[in-house]
């Protein structure tokens, strides 16, 4: 069997290596709908397509190019064409009706691209919106439609392969409205990390990756495409929306391709929980998950409870719990830093009080109803440091190295560590050039608090207040501002946002002071509804709970800064001076109305409106009467995952592909129902390669 190209300097070398040795073997297969029809590339055909696009980019060698594509095959064509042409790729989300527009404008301003690559669909949907928002200099940038480039152009390709030290792409870290940070990754960074992953995973050479992750995300792009590409295996892909609408689609592909070869995946914790919650027992009958030998769990806090629930539910389908591979990584370390070898998961129940003192000590046996037992937390090992990397736990204040069972900041060093943040020298110096008290360095500060026990890494929290929900970063200050503006009983500096573990994943909690002037007539339910709707609309996430407290009782420092960790601790203790509490109701999938049996084309617009009202009312645990047909869907307090699931039900009822973005773009329920009725009566084709951003 052919060995991987261990001397390759870049993914260009890797693709051409396999195109020479096994030209007709499949490297990529993409299912636009998550099932049914698919498109595929062999190594030879993919190499040819990349070269054709790269010929149009050669004049821009060394410059940055924005990639505006939905998550699909044409994004990968353009991305690797940048590598072939020596252009710095900058992936971005296509904006639709201002959705993602601010993020794109921030990235454009930061990286100053020379060109924009896109597709037919995105040009039609987004170009005029972009041009209206761009500066005059940005409006003058050329747009290249890669769909218009013929494969025959590959014959004109003659660019030299990039060197290992050349900048490959800028990975802009996720987040909400903060200043964008473009992580600078060289070809050496990428090749070092995929080789580290190959050595750590120890997978068979024919093991395929089956993924739903967005290809703009480092785990989707590097973990699900580049890494299996290095060892000569293939990737089977679907759009994120296809998974979120019907999680069973992902498992069916794992089952299907498992009949041909071993299969694996990389995914965040919430996706396994979604499978537990959304897949019915009736769907398990035809699944064979015994060939699923590798299930990496990362990108957000890893929950033992979720993995156990998943293993229990899918054990009858042959899933082996030892396939789970908890891991840790981040964009600044390319992707992977630590991972478990396959085998039993290692976890520890840690004494909550000791943890606040910086000690990672296992909790003593306690009665379940003991107050301290309720505060103790289970931490899952993220495995051991990958080969070729130096990992330290360091006191962030003194810069002294701390030892096993002590908590400090995680510092990393190795050839996979990024070069810094684009055009942010001071921040790069701080984050990527840290030295220990005894002069060891340079190291990259991760900003994560962690401890090691017998070489196993345990992530215990964040040094700063960044929130990670479903794999996406959110700045608490942004959410607090949204909440404060949502109701006049709130004040800007008197709201705290943090996360707690609930229902198998990290969930958002808000604690807000009520102004004295509103104390007598304050309606907690009305305020909670206004706040949760605003947070969902602005940030695309659910609010799990809101606690309203007395004015001037929010824990703060002497300088007036909110002590979010202390607020979280008191919230969990129940020691806040609460004046009212609200929790989002937990609604099982079985409580949602079934898709009507009558074809949509035979139903009236009113029938469609009623189904949507009933679904939304059930999801929000409110009366149907309180969901008017003039209500906009993004104002009801639903997060992006909820809306994608509703879109999936409507698409199934419609009986043909539906543009998911109509739920965001049309003004209210009545307009969506009218659109669906017209579509049902006059079938149309739609671009199925649609990515819904905001859930990860």
Residues near 67 by Cβ (< 8 Å), separated by ≥ 6?
75, 78, 79, 82, 89, 90, 91, 92, 117, 118
Read off the pLDDT of each residue in 112-126 and give the average, rounded to a whole number. Answer: 94
Read off the pLDDT of each residue in 22-27 and give the average, rounded to a whole number. Answer: 97
- Classify residue 87 as exposed, middle or buried by CB count within 10 Å of its CB (0-12, 13-18, 19+): buried
pLDDT at 153 (0 to 100): 97
Q: At what angle do helices 120-133 and 101-111 cross, to 10 degrees?
A: 80
Instruction: Say whether pLDDT at 686 is over 90.
Output: no
Locate CATH 1.10.1200.10 in the chain: 589-681
Task: Report phi then psi at 269, rounded to 5.
Answer: -55, -40
pLDDT at 175 (0 to 100): 47
Per-residue pLDDT tens for 321-362?
Answer: 999 999 999 999 999 999 987 678 999 999 877 887 888 999
pLDDT at 559 (0 to 100): 56
Read off the pLDDT of each residue in 659-669 and give the average, rounded to a whole number. Answer: 78
pLDDT category at 367 given cuts 50, 70, 90 is low
Per-residue pLDDT tens for 483-525?
Answer: 999 999 998 778 999 999 887 788 999 999 999 888 888 999 8
**Homologous superfamily of 11-339 in CATH?**
ANL, N-terminal domain (3.40.50.12780)
Measured distance CA(551)–CA(487) in Å, rounded: 15
- The upper half-sphere exposure of residue 453, i.e. CA atoms within 13 Å in the direction of its Cβ, equals 18
Question: What average pLDDT is seen over the chain?
Answer: 89
pLDDT at 683 (0 to 100): 63
Domain 589-681 has CATH 3.30.70.580: no
Read off the pLDDT of each residue in 259-271 and give the average, rounded to a whole number. Answer: 93
pLDDT at 1 (0 to 100): 56
Read off the pLDDT of each residue in 25-38 and give the average, rounded to a whole number. Answer: 95
Nearest alpha carbon to residue 643 among 217, 245, 100: 245
Instruction: Say whether pLDDT at 458 is over 80.
Output: yes
pLDDT category at 688 given cuts 50, 70, 90 is very low
For residue 385, what are the CA distances in angstroms to 266, 404, 412, 428, 601?
18, 14, 9, 23, 57
In CATH, what is the architecture of 467-583?
2-Layer Sandwich (3.30)
Q: pTM for the complete prediction?
A: 0.81
Instruction: Say whether pLDDT at 482 is over 60.
Output: yes
Per-residue pLDDT tens for 191-243?
Answer: 999 999 999 988 888 999 999 999 988 999 999 999 999 999 999 999 998 99
Locate CATH 3.30.300.30 in the chain: 467-583
State the residue for tokens 């990754």.
185
Task: Report phi then psi at 603, rounded to 5.
Answer: -100, 160
pLDDT at 639 (0 to 100): 75
Measured distance CA(354)–CA(375) in Å, rounded: 11
Measured distance CA(658)–CA(274) in Å, rounded: 22
- The upper half-sphere exposure of residue 576, i.e. CA atoms within 13 Å in the direction of its Cβ, equals 28
- The upper half-sphere exposure of residue 269, i.e. CA atoms within 13 Å in the direction of its Cβ, equals 29
pLDDT at 690 (0 to 100): 46
95-99, 260-264, 324-328: the lowest-pLDDT one: 95-99
23-37, 88-102, 167-181, 608-622: the lowest-pLDDT one: 167-181
Per-residue pLDDT tens for 296-320?
Answer: 998 777 889 899 999 999 999 999 9
Interior/surface letters 157-177, b for 16+ CB within 10 angstroms, e for the rest: bebebbebebbbbbbbebbbb
Instruction: Say whether pLDDT at 145 is over 90.
Output: yes
Q: How is residue 435 written in tokens?
A: 């030295």
Read off the pLDDT of each residue in 72-98 and give the average, rounded to a whole number. Answer: 93
pLDDT at 621 (0 to 100): 78
- Classify residue 387 as exposed, middle or buried by CB count within 10 Å of its CB (0-12, 13-18, 19+): exposed
CB atoms within 10 A of CB 42: 18
Instruction: Say whether pLDDT at 529 is over 50.
Output: yes
pLDDT at 387 (0 to 100): 94
Task: Report phi then psi at 360, rounded to 5.
Answer: -100, 85
My answer on whether omega of the bond before 442 falls inside 30° of 0, hence cis, is yes
State the residue for tokens 């002069």.
439
Percent of the chain's residues with pLDDT above 90: 63
pLDDT at 694 (0 to 100): 43
Report whether 358 contacts 406 (CB < 8 A): yes
Locate CATH 3.40.50.12780 in the chain: 11-339
For residue 564, what are the CA distances in angstroms to 464, 534, 571?
10, 21, 10
Largest Cα span, the chain: 77
State the residue for tokens 């990672």.
360
């Amino acid at each position: 069997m052919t060995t991987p190209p261990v001397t390759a300097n870049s993914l260009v070398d890797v693709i051409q290596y396999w195109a020479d040795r096994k030209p007709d073997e499949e490297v990529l297969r993409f299912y636009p709908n998550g099932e049914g029809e698919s498109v595929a590339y062999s190594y030879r055909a993919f190499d040819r397509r990349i070269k054709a696009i790269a010929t149009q980019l050669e004049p821009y060698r060394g410059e940055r190019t924005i990639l505006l594509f939905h998550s699909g095959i044409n994004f990968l064509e353009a991305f690797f064409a940048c590598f072939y042409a020596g252009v710095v790729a900058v992936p971005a989300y296509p904006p639709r009706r201002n959705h993602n527009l601010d993020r794109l404008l921030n990235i454009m301003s930061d990286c100053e691209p020379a060109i924009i690559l896109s597709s037919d669909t995105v040009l039609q949907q987004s170009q005029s919106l972009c041009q209206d928002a761009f500066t005059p200099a940005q409006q003058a940038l050329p747009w290249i439609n890669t769909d218009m480039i013929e494969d025959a152009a590959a014959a004109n390709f003659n660019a030299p392969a990039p060197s290992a030290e050349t900048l490959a792409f800028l990975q802009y870290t996720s987040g909400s409205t903060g200043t964008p940070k473009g992580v600078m990754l060289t070809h050496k960074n990428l090749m070092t990390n995929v080789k580290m992953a190959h050595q750590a995973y120890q997978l068979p050479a024919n093991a395929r990756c089956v993924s739903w992750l967005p290809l703009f995300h480092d785990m989707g792009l590097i973990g699900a495409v580049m890494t299996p590409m290095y060892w000569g295996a293939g990737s089977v892909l679907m759009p994120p929306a296809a998974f979120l609408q019907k999680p069973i689609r992902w498992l069916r592909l794992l089952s299907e391709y498992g009949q041909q070869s071993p299969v694996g995946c990389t995914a965040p914790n919430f996706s396994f929980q979604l499978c537990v919650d959304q897949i019915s027992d009736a769907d398990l009958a035809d699944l064979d998950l015994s060939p699923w030998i590798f299930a990496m769990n990362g990108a957000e806090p890893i929950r033992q409870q979720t993995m156990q629930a998943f293993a229990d539910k899918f054990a009858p389908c042959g899933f082996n719990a030892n396939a789970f591979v908890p891991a840790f990584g981040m964009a600044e370390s390319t992707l992977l830093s630590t991972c478990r070898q396959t085998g039993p998961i290692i976890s520890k129940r840690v004494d909550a009080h000791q943890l606040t003192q910086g000690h990672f000590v296992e909790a003593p046996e306690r009665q379940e109803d003991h107050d301290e037992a309720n505060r103790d937390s289970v931490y899952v090992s993220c495995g051991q440091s990958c080969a070729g990397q130096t990992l330290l736990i360091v006191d962030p204040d003194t810069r002294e190295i701390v030892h096993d069972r002590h908590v400090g900041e995680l510092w990393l060093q190795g050839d996979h560590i990024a070069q810094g943040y684009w055009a942010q020298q001071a921040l790069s110096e701080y984050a990527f050039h840290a030295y220990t008290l005894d002069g060891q360095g340079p190291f990259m500060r991760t900003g994560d608090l962690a401890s090691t026990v017998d070489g196993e890494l345990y992530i215990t929290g964040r040094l700063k207040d960044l929130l990670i929900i479903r794999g996406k970063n959110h700045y608490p200050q942004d959410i607090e501002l949204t909440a404060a503006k949502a109701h006049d009983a709130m004040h800007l500096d008197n709201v705290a946002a943090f996360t707690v573990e609930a229902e198998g994943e990290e969930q958002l909690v808000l604690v807000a002071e009520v102004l004295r002037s509103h104390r007598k007539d304050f309606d907690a339910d009305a305020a909670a509804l206004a706040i949760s709707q605003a947070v969902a609309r602005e940030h695309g996430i659910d609010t799990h709970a809101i606690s309203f407290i007395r004015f001037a009782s929010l824990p703060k420092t002497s300088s007036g800064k909110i002590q979010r960790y202390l607020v979280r601790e008191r919230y969990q203790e129940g020691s806040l001076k609460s004046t009212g509490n609200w929790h989002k109701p937990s609604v099982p999938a079985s409580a949602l109305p079934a898709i009507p049996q009558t074809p949509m084309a035979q139903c009236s617009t009113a029938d469609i409106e009623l189904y949507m009202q009933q679904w939304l009312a059930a999801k929000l645990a409110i009366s149907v009467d309180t969901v008017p047909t003039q209500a906009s869907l993004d104002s009801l307090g639903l997060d992006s995952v909820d809306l994608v699931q509703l879109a999936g039900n409507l698409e199934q009822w419609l009986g043909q592909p539906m543009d998911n973005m109509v739920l965001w773009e049309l003004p209210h329920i009545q307009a969506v129902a009218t659109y669906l009725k017209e579509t049902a009566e006059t079938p149309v084709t739609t671009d199925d390669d649609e990515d819904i951003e905001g859930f990860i």
